[in-house]
Amino acid sequence: MTVVHQRFRFELDPNDKSSSKLSSHTGASRFAYNFGLALVKQRLAERAKLRAWATDYGLCADQAEVFARSVEVPWNLYSLRREWNSAKSTIAPWWSENSKEAYSSGLDGLARALDNFSKARSGERAGQSGFPSFKNKSARKFYRFTTGAIKVVDGRHVQLPRIGVLRTKEPATKLRAMLDSGRARILSATISELAGRWFVSFACEVERSDREAKCPSEIIAVDLGVKRLATLSNGEIIENPRVLSRYRRRMATLQRKIARQQSGSRRRAHSKAKLARCHKRVADARRDVLHKLTTELAETYGTVVIEDLAVKNMTKSASGTVESPGTNVAQKSGLNRAILDVAPAEFRRQLTYKMAWHSGCLIVAARCYPSSKTCSSCGEVRAKLSLHERTYTCEHCGLAIDRDLNAAINLAAYGRRELNVAGSGLETVNARRGGQPRLRSQSPVKREDGTGSPDRTVTASSQGQAAK
């Protein structure tokens, strides 16, 4: 029995009155977010004025900074809530019409954005994170309930604070049964609007007892591609549905139409709603294909090997600069679009938690591993291999094989080597696996955390516990 955090999302079927309440709560969350951001900017401007005034009067930089910090800037959720509670009766006399959780959700989002901005500037957080900006009515609509009457009433109805009982378009029987048996506990509920539809997502603490894979001792490797979605090391090919290409012309037509229409008009809003529905169809179709593939892999094989792809580097623009413009910009743009349509990060995320559910092992090959350039027969590594060469031909042994299949076979061999190496050292098992000693490799295998059956000895790197 494993305790995990899992989300259950259901589409709602609200009437006009309930839809108005849901929209009112999203507006309240956005209002609180914008209020907090305006207050933060105002206090930062006051600090800057005091700092400049102190510097003009001859104070040193440290003294000017101490003087400027006499103005408190609400930067975390606690201070933002305190400022909101002291000002809400004046700036929002209608605040009692909505749940307090809506305002708290907006302030929590602002606090997280400010924290990410601070960590990105200090180097504690990888990547770039700019200063938060104000939200308008076209921003993504969502808010979260963490307290109050959050229930799954029956197989077709859910209850939310201040909104009441809402009907769901999808049956919630499975979650209701888990709640009744005590195998699940609701932690929060998130309401969101997407392409004109309302959804509720329950974050739950669930006790899972999934069966192990059908073939726990077998190793399968997956090579993601563009022409084909995936090529497995056993020769099986998963065709790429190319969901984006089906709606690309339709999207381009709607985008041109929106660009010609007057901003703020009803016809423009109608066209934007059509475009949002197209994007939702693409996202749903892509997610469905990935879920079916990752579920089959996790339920069938005990070990899955994939590559650690640098998607950000693979999808860099080729436009270049004004001084040195790039070449084949349109072709590279199409390649980038095709790579992102495969969604490699989503594939890895789903496979991570599903392998953990079935006590499987997910091995991620290092980025420097030349799976495509290595001959799967003799091990000879080619110096260069262009993208247009779809058949790998070995000059050493004469092997001619499909490029993607060759890479998948090499990844499977990589996984076997790592699992064998993982039995050459002595390790004391951590508390999650018990107290018996176990063999371990001197150079640990990169593996997604939470994956791996008790009889496998590979170390962990990161964990994902999201769910469909």
Q: In what order do the strands lie in the sheet with 164-167?
A: 151-154, 157-160, 164-167
Q: Would you say 302 and 213 are in contact if contact means Cβ atoms under 8 Å apart?
A: yes
SS3 462: strand
Among candidate residues 101, 108, 404, 448, the one labeled active-site is 404
Indicate if 307 belongs to the active site.
yes
Other beta carbons within 10 angstroms of residue 78's beta carbon come to: 10
CB 201 within 8 A of CB 146: no
Q: Are 5 and 185 in contact (CB under 8 A)?
A: no
Report how far Cα 168 is from the mean position of its chain's Cα atoms.
Answer: 25
CA pair distance 97, 353, nearest whole angstrom = 40
Helices (H), 343-382: 344-357
| 393-402 own/partner pairs: CB under 8 Å, 24+ apart | 399/375, 401/376, 402/231
pLDDT at 9 over 90: yes
Active site residue 223: yes
Of the residues 101, 223, 341, 418, which is catalytic? Answer: 223
pLDDT tens across 139-150, in order?
A: 888 889 998 889
State the pLDDT at residue 266.
92
Euclidean distance between CA atoms 129 and 7, whole angstroms: 27
Closest CA to 403 of 424, 430, 382: 382
Q: What is the pTM of this model?
A: 0.80
The torsion region of residue 162 among left (phi > 0), alpha (psi -120 to 50) and beta comes to left
Residue ranges of the domains in the chain?
A: 2-15+142-208, 17-141, 215-463
Q: In this structure, which amino acid lies at residue 372?
A: S
CB 75 within 8 A of CB 113: no
Taking only the tens place, the pLDDT of each residue in 177-193 is 999 999 999 999 999 99
283 contact partners, CB below 8 Å, separation of at least 6: none
| Residue tagged active-site, from 101, 108, 299, 307 | 307
The pLDDT, as a whole number, for residue 359 is 86
Q: pLDDT: is 278 or 421 the higher one?
A: 278
DSSP characters for 142-208? EEEE-SS--EEEETTEEEETTTEEEEBSS--HHHHHHHHHTSEEEEEEEEEEETTEEEEEEEEEEEE
Provide the pLDDT for residue 441: 30
> Is 404 noted as a catalytic residue in this protein?
yes
Span 330-389, pLDDT tens digits: 888 888 888 888 899 999 999 999 998 888 889 998 888 888 888 888 888 888 888 888
Beta-bridge partners for 49: none
